[in-house]
Chains A and B, each alone.
Chain A
Amino acid sequence: MQLSDTDLIIQAQKGNQNAFEELVYRYDRNVLSITIKYANNEDDAKDLYQEVFIRVYRSIKSFRFQSEFSTWLFRITTNVCLTYKSRSKEHLKVSIDKEFDDDENEFSTTKELVYDGSSPEEISSDANLGEIVNAAVESLSPKQKMTFVLKHYEGYKIREIAEMLNCKEGTVKKYLFDATKNLRKKLSPVYA
């Protein structure tokens, strides 16, 4: 019979490594899926994945069952993602010289690679289009990007995202609306 999360956590808290690994394997696919879409780079995504579970390993003993394990895990995941600094800047399609724009609550980029005036023929190739979309998503602020990834790519409910980010549902909606607004601004020349 399969052990419940609670049983595995209790065992892991007592130092049972197999129980910890079993717990990891129950959820790590979802964690990796989030980190891949957030980091947009496999190496960084694997680093983030590792960082998440190392933090879980270090703090599993302090888990007090006040929330679902998955909620706690995904909260750690979003925290790790939001504070991550890419180890390889080369993959970034946008300039790393980002400046925070308080009015727009978004990161503006000093180098606009989102739409560079390419001809429709050039844009229409899948590779170019993919790069432009990636760059647009990358240009969002970390929280806008996180909520957008969780909602649009991972299909979580706004209520669940609010739990992960430890904020109100209204705040998540605000991030989503802002993300969509910014993406439209960047991508409208491509799809309009």
Chain B
Amino acid sequence: MKHNEYKQLLQLSLFGELKSEEQLKLKEHLLTCEECRTELEDQKNLLELISGKKKAAVDEKVLSAARYQLRGALRSERSSNNILNSIADNIFQYFTTPLKYAFAGAALLIIGVVIGGIFFNKSSQTEFTGQQNGDNRFASLSEDISISNVRFIDSDASDGEVEFTFQASRPVRLKGSINDQQIQSVLTYAMLNEQNPGSRLNSINAMDAETPVQYDNDVKNALITVIMTDENPGVRREALKLMSKFPYDETVKQTLLYVITNDTVSGLRIEALNSLIEAGSQGYKLNQDDLNLFRQKLQQDENPYIKLRSRTILQEYN
């Protein structure tokens, strides 16, 4: 065995990876090789130095915080999926009723352009052919439809026919009660997916009616997603405000705790903290995990008000 190979055995030996016969061979070599003995000492010293970083166990508080954040992220993941599936179901059920069958083709096309691309991985494409629809095939494309992205599949008109795809969209006007499920579906979709933060904010505010509203469960799930993930603090704040209209339950509590733990805007953390304290004053209890979170906030949060309120909560529960 070459000298360099013994050096590798040295390392493997320190890592406890040598078979007994290899260990024996190395031991014999060390008796006669001064260089390898020095090398062994050197490597031992190195590992000893580095082992200071070796930690026996994960800090329970860190684990608890990581689990907490994960629960929020999973909830967000689930609600996001549920909302999209539910909205898609709602809208497609609406448009495929037999009485509106004639309208469905155009509607599908519009939905495909406006929101279908986000609902589905595959792009929706409505096929019009002379054989299927005769001269009426463009009847649904009225003047207010804008056409874009014309792409040719067959642009050779030598046989008298061409084939192409295009996208068509037109504004859709919807008026109705905020209790209407379709209205809520569209607004829910908008609060989650509109690129413009102003539109997301308006969609949330539109649902914040002064009269009592029967909210669909998807609205609540969407609000939670917005509160946890929207990049715009104003949108998150409005979502938080609207969520206060929902009955306080475990999901609401977890969302508030998520904001307190993770939101970078102290104003929102304070708002969530106040909502939680308010719920506490109405008899809702916090469990040990929640209290641990406040202990952490008390130590780590940079905002003195949050520290103060966290201390108050802990004192009340002790």
Q: Is B74 an interface residue (CB 8 A)?
A: yes
Bound: A49/B72 CA distance, A: 13
Q: Is B66 an interface residue (CB 8 A)?
A: yes
Q: Is A108 an interface residue (CB 8 A)?
A: no
A133 and B53 contact, Cβ closer than 8 Å, known pairs A32-B63, A50-B70, A54-B73: yes
Collect the chain B residues with CB atoms within 8 Å of residue A82's CB.
none
Collect the chain B residues with CB atoms within 8 Å of residue A153's CB.
53-55
Q: Is the CB of A46 within 8 A of B55?
A: no
> Which of B47, B50, B73 is packed against the most chain A CB atoms within 10 Å?
B50
Collect the chain B residues with CB atoms within 8 Å of residue A152's CB.
15, 47, 50-51, 54
Interface size on B, residues (CB 8 A): 32
Bound: A50/B229 CA distance, A: 14
Bound: A170/B186 CA distance, A: 57
Collect the chain A residues with CB atoms within 8 Å of residue B17's CB.
157-158
Q: Is the CB of A137 within 8 A of B46?
A: no
Q: Is A177 an interface residue (CB 8 A)?
A: yes
Q: Is the CB of B49 within 8 A of A190?
A: yes
Bound: A173/B42 CA distance, A: 19
Q: Is A33 an interface residue (CB 8 A)?
A: yes
Q: Is A57 an interface residue (CB 8 A)?
A: yes
Q: Is the CB of A50 within 8 A of B62?
A: no
Interface flags, B42-80, vs A, CB<8A=1, else 0: 110111111111110110001101110111011001100
Of the listed stretches A64-72, A111-119, A180-188, chain B binds: A180-188
Q: Is the CB of A36 within 8 A of B58?
A: yes
Q: Is B8 an interface residue (CB 8 A)?
A: yes
Partner pick for B52 among A36, A45, A49, A133, CB 8 A cutoff: A133
Q: Is the CB of A53 within 8 A of B46?
A: no
Q: Is A93 an interface residue (CB 8 A)?
A: no
Bound: A126/B49 CA distance, A: 11
Looking at the assembled complex, report how far the CB atom of A157 sits from the nearest CB atom of chain B, in whole angstroms: 7
Collect the chain B residues with CB atoms within 8 Å of residue A190's CB.
49
> Which of B12, B55, B66 is packed against the most chain A CB atoms within 10 Å?
B66
Collect the chain A residues with CB atoms within 8 Å of residue B57's CB.
29, 33
Bound: A191/B42 CA distance, A: 9
Bound: A188/B54 CA distance, A: 19
Q: Is A129 an interface residue (CB 8 A)?
A: yes
Collect the chain B residues with CB atoms within 8 Å of residue A36's CB.
55, 58, 62
A-side interface size class: 35 or more
Q: Is the CB of B78 within 8 A of A29?
A: no
Q: Is B11 an interface residue (CB 8 A)?
A: yes
Look across to chain B and name the residue whose beta carbon is closest to the beta carbon of A40.
B53
Looking at the assembled complex, report how far the CB atom of A54 sits from the nearest CB atom of chain B, in whole angstroms: 6
Bound: A20/B57 CA distance, A: 24
Collect the chain A residues with CB atoms within 8 Å of residue B73's CB.
50, 54
Looking at the assembled complex, report how far the CB atom of B185 sits from the nearest CB atom of chain A, in whole angstroms: 23
Q: Is the CB of A28 within 8 A of B63?
A: yes
Q: Is A42 an interface residue (CB 8 A)?
A: yes
Bound: A180/B43 CA distance, A: 8
Q: Is A134 an interface residue (CB 8 A)?
A: yes
Bound: A192/B51 CA distance, A: 16
Q: Is the CB of A173 within 8 A of B8?
A: yes
Q: Is the CB of B49 within 8 A of A37?
A: no
Q: Is A143 an interface residue (CB 8 A)?
A: no
Q: Is the CB of A191 within 8 A of B46?
A: yes
A49 and B46 contact, Cβ closer than 8 Å, known pairs A32-B62, A36-B62, A37-B55: no
Q: Is the CB of A46 within 8 A of B8?
A: no
Look across to chain B and name the residue whose beta carbon is closest to the beta carbon of A58.
B77
Collect the chain A residues with CB atoms within 8 Å of residue B50's CB.
133, 137, 152, 183, 187
- Within A29-88, the residues touching B (CB, 8 Å) are 29, 32-33, 36-37, 42, 45-46, 49-50, 53-54, 57-58
Bound: A126/B70 CA distance, A: 34
Q: List 6 A-B contacts (CB under 8 A).
A: A20-B74, A37-B55, A54-B74, A137-B50, A173-B12, A176-B15
Q: A32-B66, A133-B50 are in contact. List 12 more A-B contacts (CB 8 A).
A: A21-B71, A32-B58, A32-B63, A42-B62, A46-B69, A49-B70, A137-B50, A158-B17, A176-B15, A183-B46, A184-B46, A192-B45
B-side interface residues toward A, CB under 8 Å? Answer: 8, 11-12, 15, 17, 42-43, 45-55, 57-58, 62-63, 65-67, 69-71, 73-74, 77-78
